[in-house]
Amino acid sequence: MNYRIFYIALCTFAIGCASLSAHAVAGDGVGILSERCASCHDMKGPAPTTLAALWQRKGPDLFYAGNKYRQAWVEAWLQNPKRIRPAGMFYISHIKPGEKRDMVDASTLSEHMKLNAADAKAVADALAEMKENSALLKAEKHDPSMAPGPLGEMMFDKFFGCMACHQIEPGFGGLSGPEVYTAGARLKPEFMLSYIRNPQAWDPKTWMPNKHVPDVSIQKMVNYMIELSKEDWDEAE
Amino acid sequence: MKPNSIVSFFLLIALLSLPLAAGAKELAKDNYKTYCIQCHGLQGTGMGLNIRDMSVQPRDHTDVKAMGTRNDAELFKVIKEGGFAISKSVLMPPWGDILTDDEINDLVIYLRDLCKCKYGG
pLDDT of residue A20: 41
Confidence of residue B10 (pLDDT cuts 50, 70, 90): low
pLDDT at A10: 47
Query: A111-123: per-residue pLDDT in tens?
Result: 999 999 999 999 9
Is A100's Cβ below 8 Å from some Cβ in B? yes
Cβ atoms of residues B84 and B9 within 8 Å = no
Q: Is the pTM of this model over 0.80?
A: yes
Residue B18, pLDDT score: 45
> Rounded CA gap, A217 and A160, in Å?
10
Average pLDDT over residues B89-106: 97
Provide the 8-state DSSP code for A113: P
Chain B contact for A230 (CB, 8 A cutoff): no
Nearest CA to A66 among A125, A120, A117? A125
The verdict on a CB contact (< 8 Å) between A174 and B38 is: yes
Residue B66 has a CB neighbour count (10 Å cut-off) of: 14
Q: Give the pLDDT of residue B1.
A: 53
Q: Which residue has the higher pLDDT, A176 or B120?
A: A176
Report the alpha-carbon distance of residue A86 to residue A156 in Å, rounded. 18
What pLDDT was estimated at residue B19? 41
Contacts of A91 in chain B (CB under 8 A): 38, 49
Residue B76 has pLDDT above 50, yes or no: yes
CB under 8 Å to A168, separation ≥6 — which residues? Answer: A153, A156, A157, A162, A180, A181, A228
Spatial CA neighbour of A183 closest among A201, A165, A205, A198: A165
Q: Where are the alpha helices (DSSP H) in B23-120?
A: 28-31, 37-40, 64-68, 72-81, 101-115
CB contact under 8 A, A161 and B93: yes
Strand partners, A96: A103
pLDDT at residue B120, rounded to an integer: 85
Contact B37 A210 (CB under 8 A): no
Low pLDDT (below 50) residues in chain A = 1, 10-22
Do residues A94 and A211 touch, judged by C-beta distance below 8 A?
A: no
Residue B4, phi then psi, degrees to nearest 5: -60, -40
Best of A101, A157, A213 to mutate (most B CBs within 10 Å, chain B):
A101
Residue A103 pairs in a beta bridge with A96
Q: State the smallest CA–CA distance between residue B57 and chain A in angstroms.
A: 10
A165 touches chain B (CB under 8 A): yes
CA distance A9 to A113: 36
Residues of B in contact with A173 (CB under 8 A): 53
Q: Which residue of A has its CA nearest to B38?
A: A176
Contacts of residue B9, Cβ cutoff 8 Å, sequence gap at least 6: B1
